[in-house]
Amino acid sequence: MKLTVIGCGYLGATHAACMAELGHDVVGIDIDPQKVERLQAGDVPFFEPGLADILRRNLDAGRLRFTTDHSVAADHASVHFIGVGTPQEVRGHRADLSHVHAAVDALVPTLRGTHVLIGKSTVPVGTCEELSQRISQLCAPGAHVELSWSPEFLREGFAVEDTLSPDRMVLGVGRLVDDPEAPQAESLAGQVVRDIYREVLETGIPFIETDWATAELVKVSSNAFLATKISFINAMSELCEIAGADVGTLADAMGHDARIGRRFLNAGLGFGGGCLPKDIRALTARADEMGAPRAVGFLREVDAINMRRRSAAAELVAEALGGEVLGRNVAVLGTAFKPESDDVRDSPALAVAGRLALDGASVTVFDPQAMDNSRRVQPMLSYAASARAACDRADVVVVATEWAEFVHMSPDELAPVMRHKRIVDARRCLDSQAWRSAGWDYRALGGPVPA
Ligand code: UGA
- Residue 427 pLDDT: 98
pLDDT in tens, 180-206: 555 555 689 999 999 999 999 999 999
Parallel, antiparallel, or unpaired: how do β-strands 144-149 and 169-173 relate?
antiparallel
Ligand 1 atom closest to the CA of 154, numbered from 1: 7
Element (H, E) at 25: strand 25-29
- What dotted CATH number matches 229-444? 3.40.50.720
Ligand 1 atom closest to the CA of 157, numbered from 1: 15
Confidence of residue 433 (pLDDT cuts 50, 70, 90): very high
Confidence of residue 94 (pLDDT cuts 50, 70, 90): very high
Q: How far apart are CA 177 and CA 183, in angstroms?
A: 12
Nearest residue to 84 (alpha-carbon basis) of 48, 131, 142, 43? 131
Confidence of residue 376 (pLDDT cuts 50, 70, 90): very high
Ligand 1 site: residues with CB under 6 angstroms?
122, 152-156, 223, 226, 230, 264-266, 268, 270-273, 275-276, 337-338
Q: Matching CATH topology for 2-205 and 229-444?
A: yes
- Residue 371 pLDDT: 98
Ligand 1 atom closest to the CA of 153, numbered from 1: 7
- Residue 73 pLDDT: 92
Confidence check: pLDDT of 450 > 90? no
- What dotted CATH number matches 2-205? 3.40.50.720
Q: Beta-carbon neighbour count of residue 68 at 10 Å?
A: 15
Domain boundaries, the chain: 2-205, 229-444
Q: How far apart are CA 186 and CA 207, in angstroms?
A: 16
Instruction: Please compute the mean of the pLDDT values over residues 129-158 and round it to a whole number.
Output: 96
Confidence of residue 91 (pLDDT cuts 50, 70, 90): confident
CA of 114 to the centre of ligand 1 (A): 37
- Residue 180 pLDDT: 55
User: Which residue CA neighbors atom 18 of ligand 1 most closely?
Assistant: 155
- Least trusted range by pLDDT, from 89-98, 289-298, 347-356, 393-402: 89-98
CA of 59 to the centre of ligand 1 (A): 30
- Residue 175 pLDDT: 76
Active site residue 275: yes
Nearest residue to 246 (alpha-carbon basis) of 269, 217, 267, 229? 267
From 128, 139, 240, 275, the catalytic residue: 275
- Residue 176 pLDDT: 65
Does 338 show up as a binding residue in the annotation? yes
Instruction: Please compute the mean of the pLDDT values over residues 127-153 and round it to a whole number.
Output: 96
- Residue 325 pLDDT: 97
Q: What is the CA radius of gyration of the chain?
A: 24
Nearest residue to 121 (alpha-carbon basis) of 138, 97, 88, 92? 97
Instruction: Please compute the mean of the pLDDT values over residues 353-376 and round it to a whole number.
Output: 98
Q: What is the pTM of this model?
A: 0.96
Confidence check: pLDDT of 133 > 70? yes
Confidence check: pLDDT of 178 > 90? no
- Residue 186 pLDDT: 63
CA of 356 to the centre of ligand 1 (A): 25
- Cβ neighbourhood burial of 259 (10 Å; 0-12, 13-18, 19+): exposed
Confidence check: pLDDT of 179 > 90? no
Does 86 show up as a binding residue in the annotation? yes
Q: What percent of the chain has pLDDT over 90?
A: 95
- Least trusted range by pLDDT, from 130-134, 183-187, 193-197, 370-374: 183-187
CA of 148 to the centre of ligand 1 (A): 25
CA of 335 to the centre of ligand 1 (A): 15
Instruction: Please compute the mean of the pLDDT values over residues 130-142 and round it to a whole number.
Output: 95
User: Which residue CA neighbors atom 16 of ligand 1 most closely?
Assistant: 155
Q: What percent of the chain has pLDDT over 70?
A: 97
pLDDT in tens, 289-326: 999 999 999 999 999 999 999 999 999 999 999 999 99
- Residue 219 pLDDT: 97
- Residue 177 pLDDT: 55
Instruction: Please compute the mean of the pLDDT values over residues 79-102 and round it to a whole number.
Output: 95
User: Which residue CA neighbors atom 30 of ligand 1 most closely?
Assistant: 271
Q: How far apart are CA 137 and CA 374, in angstroms?
A: 43
- Residue 449 pLDDT: 78
- Residue 33 pLDDT: 97
Confidence check: pLDDT of 451 > 90? no
Instruction: Please compute the mean of the pLDDT values over residues 220-248 and round it to a whole number.
Output: 97
160-177 per-residue burial string, b: 16 or more CB within 10 A, e: under 16: bebbbebeebbbbbbebe
Does 142 show up as a binding residue in the annotation? no
Work out the mean pLDDT of the chain and round it to a whole number: 96
